[in-house]
Amino acid sequence: MLSTPNDISVNSTVNLVTASDDSALYNTARVFTGPSSYLFSIQKSGRHYIRLYFFAFALPDYNLAAATFSVSTQYLILLNNFQSSNSSAAVFKEFSVNINSEKLILFFTPSGNSSLAFVNAIEVVSVPDDLIANTAQILNAGGNYSALSSQAFETVYRINMGGPKITPKNDTLWRTWIPDAEFLINPNLATFVSFSRPIDYVEGGATREIAPDFVYNTATRLAESSSISNPIFNVTWEFSVDKSSTYLIRMHFCDIVSNSTNLLYFSVYINAMYAIQNLDLSERTFNSLATPYYVDYIVVKSNDASENFRISIGPSDMQNVLHDGILNGLEIMKLNFNTIDAVQPSSNSIKVGIISGTVLGACSIIAMAGLCMVIKKKKLLKKHNSRTWVPLSFYGGRSHSTTSKSSNGTSASYGQYSTSQLALQFPLIVIREATNNFNENRVIGIGGFGKVYKGILRDETRVAVKRGNPKSQQGIKEFRTEIEMLSRLRHRHLVSLMGYCDEEKEMILVYEFMEKGTLKSHLYGSDLVPNLSWKQRLEICIGAAKGLHYLHTGQANAIIHRDVKSANILLDEKLLAKVSDFGLSKAGPEMDQTHVSTAVKGSFGYLDPEYFKRQQLTEKSDVYSFGVVLLEVLCARPVIDPTLTRDMVNLAEWAVKYEKRGEFEKIIDPCIAGKIKPDSLSKFRETTMKCVAEYSVDRPTMGDVLWNLEYALQLQEEIANEFEDESIDRLAQLAAQSKKKNQSLEEFDVFGDQNLQDPSLSQTFSVSRVFSQLIKAEGR
* Binding residue numbers: 466
- Asked whether the beta carbons of 31 and 116 are under 8 A apart, the reply is yes
| Neighbour count for residue 232 (Cβ, 10 Å) | 10
| Neighbour count for residue 13 (Cβ, 10 Å) | 6
Paired residues of 118 in beta bridges: 31
Question: CA-to-CA distance for 571 and 513, rounded, in angstroms?
Answer: 9
- DSSP conformation letters of 372-437: ------PPPB-SS---EEEPP--GGG-EEEEEEE-TTS-EEEEEEEEGGGS-EEPPHHHHHHHTTT
Q: What share of the chain is helix, strand, coil (3-state, %, to 5)?
A: 25, 30, 45
DSSP 345: P
- The angle, 0 to 180 degrees and rounded to 10, between the axes of the packed helices 619-635 and 678-691 is 140
Active site residues: 563
Q: Name the residue among 295, 326, 332 with its Cα closest to residue 206.
A: 295
Paired residues of 363 in beta bridges: 125
Question: CA-to-CA distance for 707 and 545, rounded, in angstroms?
Answer: 9
- The residues near 140 (Cβ < 8 Å, ≥ 6 apart) are 273
Question: CA-to-CA distance for 326 and 293, rounded, in angstroms?
Answer: 12
Residue 473, φ and ψ in degrees, nearest 5: -65, -35
The sheet carrying 28-32 orders its strands as: 8-11, 28-32, 117-119
Question: Residues within the annotated binding site for ATP?
Answer: 466
- Asked whether the beta carbons of 713 and 680 are under 8 A apart, the reply is yes
- Asked whether the beta carbons of 65 and 84 are under 8 A apart, the reply is yes
Question: CA-to-CA distance for 644 and 171, rounded, in angstroms?
Answer: 11
- Asked whether the beta carbons of 375 and 152 are under 8 A apart, the reply is no
The kind and range of the H/E element at 468 are strand 462-468
- The residues near 53 (Cβ < 8 Å, ≥ 6 apart) are 22, 25, 26, 90, 91, 92, 119, 120, 121, 122, 123
**C-alpha torsion sign, points 542, 548, 553, 555:** positive
Q: Is 112 exposed, middle or buried (0-12, 13-18, 19+ CB in 10 A)?
A: exposed
- The angle, 0 to 180 degrees and rounded to 10, between the axes of the packed helices 619-635 and 534-553 is 170
- DSSP conformation letters of 162-179: TS--B-GGGSTT---BEE
